[in-house]
Amino acid sequence: MSGIVLEKLDDNRLLLPQTGGMRVPGIIYANEKIFQLLKGDESAKQVANVAHLPGIVNFSLAMPDVHWGYGFPIGGVAAFDLDSGIISPGGVGYDINCGCRLMTTNLTLGDIKARLSDLTTALYQHIPSGVGSTGSVKLSGKDQKKVLEEGAAWAVKAGFGLNEDLETTEDGGAIAGADPEQVSARALERGKQQLGTLGSGNHFLEIEVVQEIFDEEAAKAFGLHKGQIAVMIHTGSRGLGYQICDDYLALMVKHANETGIALPDRQLACAYLASGRGKNYLAAMACGANYAWANRQILMHKTREVFEKTLRMSPRDVNMRLVYDVCHNIAKIESFNIGGVLKKLCVHRKGATRAFPAGHEAVPARYRSVGQPVLIPGDMGSGSYVLVGQEKAMTETFGSACHGAGRVMSRSQAIKSSRGRSIARELSEKGVLVMAGSKGTLSEEMPEAYKNVQDVVQVMHESGIAKKVAKLKSIACIKG
């Protein structure tokens, strides 16, 4: 945290004062435990760097899962004025619309305990995972264009799921304004065979049990109850999204001098939102986001099929239903009250999710009385939290909350630290069955590589940004 001085605002917020070329101050959501972890990380410097960008509104923000990223910190949130502000691929991230999808069932642990190993094996066999994995959904050029434009709706029309799945997917599973013409041939090629695949790294599919309920009203609205079996899927836009980010970063770095923007870090390469290059990136980013929603929709459908076939149960008996699909790694045009005036802003959420409150028009109708579900997965094997967005998020964080536990070790550090250990055996001894494509993935993703998700969630809860609804415990995990 070289050269950065943070001031304590309260028990859950740190102020990064406006200095030098910063156009706004920074605020980091962190309690004392997380603050101590920040001392060994340069992410606070990145929060300051983001504050230099033109058109930034109010604050450069970081959620409690913050850690070092490309340009923007992971866990970073920043909103920009549409006329004078910018769009930055580094503020969205390489895995465009990486996100989480939570499904509930009618099942309890007793219903699947004897078949858990079979169920986990079947999921591993039928859900393609790992670096460069390809799926059974092969796209023609015409179909791929429709995927990029229609998102999850394309998958449902193609027989992968139900119309009701779209009702509880953020933005109905598609961002408007997607233009496949703004996506390179290389990106299209990478996406042709990866639809319906999990990928690698921190992506996963977990079988979980609802362990604790904190808010009965919201839990009831979300269809959650203690002892229930649920499934969490975490993945994104795969090679297509990565290539879109890479292409536009290279383009914006190449033309950086034309913008006249003084960048404290070239990884913050950007374009004005009102410029042709900025508009083209937004149109390509929407394509990546829509691909990711179609991907998670297909994976949910495959998961439904595996549960029904392996457990020899009917769709009615399993009753796998989507609670919510929330995206992170995205930039959205949204309206906020700024100084008493309703303004449209471009909100970058990199490793951060929406946390809209009760009554907001973007919250699905069935949840509007309580607020939007906020899905926060923890480290491998620990499980997840479900929160609900609060009104305070709209005034403090542009309707945003954290997206996970957040790393405290790099992947290389984790591999070094885990030498001589069997991560799979350690998790098995804790009651979590893990299947992965390689030992390397398990080493990179070992639990100690992440912050304690309970600490991260507690900051959001105590600060009034998102309230705890339920805690889910992992019992089986599929990794790439």
* Residues recognised as catalytic: 403
Sign of CA dihedral 279, 282, 286, 292: positive
d(CA 203, CA 98): 9
d(CA 345, CA 424): 45
Give the DSSP per-residue string, 48-110. Answer: HHHTTSTTB-S-EEEEEEEE--SSSPEEEEEEEETTT-EE-GGGT-SSTT-EEEEEEEEEEHH
User: Would residue 339 be called left, alpha or beta, if left means φ above 0 and alpha means ψ between -120 and 50 degrees?
Assistant: left
d(CA 453, CA 443): 19
Angle, in degrees to the nearest 10, between helices 276-311 and 116-126: 140
> Residue 264 corresponds to which tokens in the numbers above?
């404290």
Q: Which residue type does 282 have?
A: L
Which residues are registered as beta bridge partners of 207? 231, 476
User: Is residue 84 within 8 Å of 55, Cβ to Cβ?
Assistant: yes
3-state secondary structure (DSSP) of residue 465: coil
